[in-house]
Structure 1
Amino acid sequence: SAKTDHILEVRLKKPVVYFPSITTFMVTFPQRKDIVEKFGDHWTDPKNIVTNGPFKLSAWEHEYKLILTANENFYEGRPFLDTILAYVIREKTTALTLYETGELEMVELPPVAIPHFKNHDEYENLPQLRGYYYGINVLKSPFDNPLVRRAFAHSIDRSRLPLLLKGEEIPSSSWIPNGMFGHNPDIGAKFNPVVAKKLLAEAGYLGGKGFPEIIAMYNTNDTNRLIGEFLQAQWKEHLNVDIQLESQEWKVFLNRLQVDPPQVFRLGWGADFPDPDNFMNLFISSSGNNRLRWSNPRYDELVALGATLVDPKERQLAYDEAQRILTETDAAMIPLFFATQNLLIKPYVKGFEMNSMELMYLKKVSIATDSIE
């Protein structure tokens, strides 16, 4: 309830130790109720939306660009920039070309270009609270057998991924990200091809014989293709199984995961707020983001417990046990690495900041016009 014009009091039904973290998530930001009620589904249109940040949304051409203009009434004072243009560019290589020709001031590098720019003055590498994983539909044969899932998880040499992707990614067999409370690098199915072969044999597929061809699906982009081809080769080398790769555009891919997830598929998660519950809650039985068709009552219990424990040691133990169920015992998903942002930023762009949740604070960004060539 609103105590005053500037104080909001929130009463919780039960202890939620990460509640302060939730207040950093954009869904908690104030909105004009009258605007939402007046315009309904169109309240976010540029002509209708009322925002309280340093910039206002002036135009939104879907699949093309956003135009932000300075908010003269921002409580911290006017931002330095008058206008920001943000373009939607599907191919990173296309965006890089536009950067090199001076059409863009900032760009995310495609993996193939990272080595060339890594020692460049304009290069920035920013760690993220973002995990990349391959999910498994545990209801589809042969992955309804946990021995098969564990075999696949143990047969990936994750240490090769940074060499492949070239972006200083952090390989990981555990799920809670590096840099976040609850991270434990000792958890997960470590690379062990001997164990992997043994598990597959115990599942009835000695030397990979009789194993059906598997479809592994990812949404179309260069990074996902590289990782898919890497896993395809790893599973062939260490398990002698054949994987058919299939890529789909993002919207089609998401619909497929919702309606009928394939046997194996790539997904990831970036932090909405900086707490492990945001990652562990994804895979509880009732989660709308659980594409694994997997359910484990003990896992659900531990995640619920972790949300209430005040003692950090007790909370760590709860998340450790939950992660072991998810990535080792049941092996319902296969964590691969924690991502980084690899950017090029023009030297005349000053004051740019991006945090580990990929949120940009744009108020202090300025252009040093005397430095533009």
Structure 2
Amino acid sequence: MKKRSIVLLTLILALSTILAACGDKKEAGSTEGTATTKLAADQTFHINLASEPPTLDPAQSQDNVSSSIIRTLFEGLTNKDKDGNITPGVAEKWEPSADGKEYTFTLRSDAKWSNGDPVTAKDFEYAWKRVLDPKTQPAPPYAYQLYYIKNAQAYNEGKAKVEDVGVKAVDDKTLKVSLENATPYWLGLTSFTTYYPVNEKVVANAKWATSPDSLVGNGPFKLSTWTTGQTLEVSKNDKYWDNKNITLTKITASIVDSAATEVSSYKSGQLDLAGQPIGEIPTDQIASLKSEIPNELTIKGIASTYYYLFNVTEKPFNNLKIRQAFTKAINRQALIDNVTLGNQIPAFGLVPPGIKGIKDEFRKENPDSAYGKEDANEAKALLAEGLKEEGLDKLPKITLIYNTNDNHKKAALAIGDMWKQTLGAEVTVQNQEWGVFLQNRRNLNYQVARAGFGADYNDPMTFIDLFTSTSGNNDTGFKNAEYDKLVKEAYSNSDNNVRNEAMKKAEDLLIKQNQVILPIYYYTNIQLVKPYVKDVVIDYGGQLDVTHVKLLEH
């Protein structure tokens, strides 16, 4: 998910330099050169969601579509400004202890829920413990993001009591948090969806997050319409503490999984924004869009990785050499040049460019060339060895699943053809509705599955801890005690040299030694934004924030 962390302006500038070939670096929604700055009378912002949000419950969110909507409905202790710097949210101030292991937050007195209830420190304590409660079902996929809190993991694993968890409401407006270890980027996580508060008396209704009649949030907007498979609408929340600085009155979203239809609707004026992270631009239209409306198209490098998951618990991908064969048998640059067409960068590792290392970017300090290269002959040899080890004469039929999306389909068909040409694999590609797709991944009901992940905060750990044994985002069946140990070492050490060395070893273990995933490319964000739209924010990880959008007269 992408998408919520401490990041310096210099990082964004660095990304722009690194990925200069990615195209126009003008801020999405910039009004530079616009003749007028007068606001339009109608402040209704029109977007499209390429899939139905699987959930609007912050505890269950793990995807960009859900988080982009949830971000309009809820607010955490902190927010991020357009440069990714941490700003006050529900908390008007905070005080860390000298050793960095304890934070005391003071909540603003005018923070309210959309039903008029005051937002209290107890709401945060309840929400975080609800995420960690081993009885919460479905199990929140991002529970591990709270493991920085003292005894959070122990409680989540049934080894400690709820009162042992290091989050306490001292009074209605004071929240005290104790961490296991000093973690420089932890404060940034308090702006992440899993850390959002929920109203306890509302959550008593199991279906509270599915209807405008029952969903109560504390963000700048409130849910006003949700017709499954058709439309979703949020309207301005007059109870929000900073509603005077919210210009939009409504955000209306169609729900259409066709990239071509999305662009057609944009061109006809039905949409004000189109493209990632909540929609798609058809790859075969990028060239013409650059020519037709270059000032509305932005292609921007982001700290996000596109990859395939192997189910390592089932044949034939329980075999390392077969996983390596499939990884070496694809031509990433050919895929980018002929299929994805978005100036992406071929990926051989998990951590993308733009993520901080020790003195430079992690990816520069640890080049992904260390994880090998594409080699058709080596792929064939590895396949033969792997089949022999498994006692197989040939590969069984392979099914590659992806969530319904034209661009994912094109990539899957092209990669499937590469596997056929090089390995003789008989590959079926299968699209699945987003919620079904996620469920099948979680249940390991697949052989190979599409995946993508964008940074939640500016540290390699946001990618590395995805594949621990306890991660709710680990949909591969991979469980490795040494990997878990390395992640724990990085979690618990404040020495950045030690931390980065542990994370380097973990990535090496994940990819070079076990080939659990098949990295394909490092993302670019491709988006169309109308010239009259101001203040659309796409952060360095590719997360969308439209809460402070303004529509100019046009």
Q: What is the aligned partner in structure 1 of residue 383 from structure 2?
A: 200
For structure 1, which segment, 41-50 or 171-180, has the greater mean C-alpha deviation from structure 2 after superposition? 41-50
Question: Residue type matched to 1:42 in 2?
Answer: W
Q: Deviations over 1:329-353 (max 9, x none)?
A: 1111111112222111111112222
Alignment partners' CA distance in 1, 2:445 and 2:372: 23
Q: Deviations over 1:216-261 (max 9, x none)?
A: 2222321121111221222233333332323333333333334443
Alignment partners' CA distance in 2, 1:175 and 1:18: 20
Q: What is the aligned partner in structure 2 of residue 225 from structure 1?
A: 409
User: Following TM superposition, by how much is the alpha carbon of 1:290 offset from its aligned partner in structure 2, in angstroms?
Assistant: 2.2
**Structure-2 change in CA distance of 1:210 and 1:73 (3 Å):** closer
Contact 1:54 1:363 in 2 (8 A): yes
Q: What is the aligned partner in structure 1 of residue 290 from structure 2?
A: 118
Alignment partners' CA distance in 2, 1:287 and 1:25: 16
Aligned 1:310-329 pairs, distance under 5 A: 310-329=494-513
User: Following TM superposition, by how much is the alpha carbon of 1:172 offset from its aligned partner in structure 2, in angstroms?
Assistant: 0.7
User: Following TM superposition, by how much is the alpha carbon of 1:160 offset from its aligned partner in structure 2, in angstroms?
Assistant: 2.3
For structure 1, which segment, 65-74 or 224-233, has the greater mean C-alpha deviation from structure 2 after superposition? 65-74
Alignment partners' CA distance in 2, 1:10 and 1:196: 50
What is the DSSP-based 3-state SS (H/G/I as helix, E as strand, rest coil) of the residue aligned with 1:173? coil
**Structure-2 change in CA distance of 1:272 and 1:60 (3 Å):** farther
**Structure-2 change in CA distance of 1:54 and 1:103 (3 Å):** same
Alignment partners' CA distance in 2, 1:193 and 1:352: 43
Q: Deviations over 1:40-98 (max 9, x none)?
A: 53156323434333333222223222222223454443312222212222111111111
What's the RMSD between the two structures over aligned residues? 2.6
Contact 2:308 2:518 in 1 (8 A): yes
Q: What is the aligned partner in structure 2 of residue 68 from structure 1?
A: 234
Contact 1:17 1:307 in 2 (8 A): no
Q: TM-score, normalised by structure 2?
A: 0.61
**Structure-2 change in CA distance of 1:340 and 1:229 (3 Å):** same
Query: Is 1:85 the equivalent of 2:260?
Result: no
Q: What is the aligned partner in structure 1 of residue 467 from structure 2?
A: 283
Aligned 1:207-222 pairs, distance under 5 A: 210-222=394-406
User: Following TM superposition, by how much is the alpha carbon of 1:26 offset from its aligned partner in structure 2, in angstroms?
Assistant: 1.7
Aligned 1:1-373 pairs, distance under 5 A: 1-3=168-170, 6-37=173-204, 39-42=205-208, 45-76=211-242, 77-108=244-275, 109-119=281-291, 120-163=294-337, 164-181=339-356, 182-183=362-363, 184-186=366-368, 187-204=370-387, 210-369=394-553, 372=554
Alignment partners' CA distance in 2, 1:256 and 1:85: 30
Question: Residue type matched to 2:455 in 1?
Answer: A
Alignment partners' CA distance in 2, 1:130 and 1:72: 35
Q: TM-score, normalised by structure 1?
A: 0.88
Contact 1:54 1:78 in 2 (8 A): no
Alignment partners' CA distance in 2, 1:84 and 1:215: 38
- In the alignment of these two chains, the number of paired residues is 368
**Structure-2 change in CA distance of 1:361 and 1:249 (3 Å):** closer
User: Following TM superposition, by how much is the alpha carbon of 1:105 offset from its aligned partner in structure 2, in angstroms?
Assistant: 0.9
Contact 1:17 1:308 in 2 (8 A): no
Structure 2 gaps, min length 5: 1-167, 276-280, 357-361
**Structure-2 change in CA distance of 1:258 and 1:365 (3 Å):** closer
For structure 1, which segment, 41-50 or 228-237, has the greater mean C-alpha deviation from structure 2 after superposition? 41-50
What is the DSSP-based 3-state SS (H/G/I as helix, E as strand, rest coil) of the residue aligned with 2:452? strand
For structure 1, which segment, 315-324 or 59-68, has the greater mean C-alpha deviation from structure 2 after superposition? 59-68
Question: Residue type matched to 2:285 in 1?
Answer: A
User: Following TM superposition, by how much is the alpha carbon of 1:173 offset from its aligned partner in structure 2, in angstroms?
Assistant: 0.7
**Structure-2 change in CA distance of 1:303 and 1:245 (3 Å):** same
What is the DSSP-based 3-state SS (H/G/I as helix, E as strand, rest coil) of the residue aligned with 1:194? helix
For structure 1, which segment, 299-308 or 236-245, has the greater mean C-alpha deviation from structure 2 after superposition? 236-245
What is the DSSP-based 3-state SS (H/G/I as helix, E as strand, rest coil) of the residue aligned with 2:274? strand
Question: Residue type matched to 2:295 in 1?
Answer: D
Question: Residue type matched to 1:69 in 2?
Answer: S
Contact 1:153 1:189 in 2 (8 A): no
User: Following TM superposition, by how much is the alpha carbon of 1:143 offset from its aligned partner in structure 2, in angstroms?
Assistant: 2.1
**Structure-2 change in CA distance of 1:127 and 1:57 (3 Å):** farther
State the identity %: 31
Contact 1:205 1:211 in 2 (8 A): no
Alignment partners' CA distance in 2, 1:291 and 1:360: 25
Alignment partners' CA distance in 2, 1:197 and 1:253: 30
Contact 1:217 1:264 in 2 (8 A): yes
Question: Residue type matched to 1:245 in 2?
Answer: V
What is the DSSP-based 3-state SS (H/G/I as helix, E as strand, rest coil) of the residue aligned with 1:227? helix
Alignment partners' CA distance in 2, 1:64 and 1:185: 44
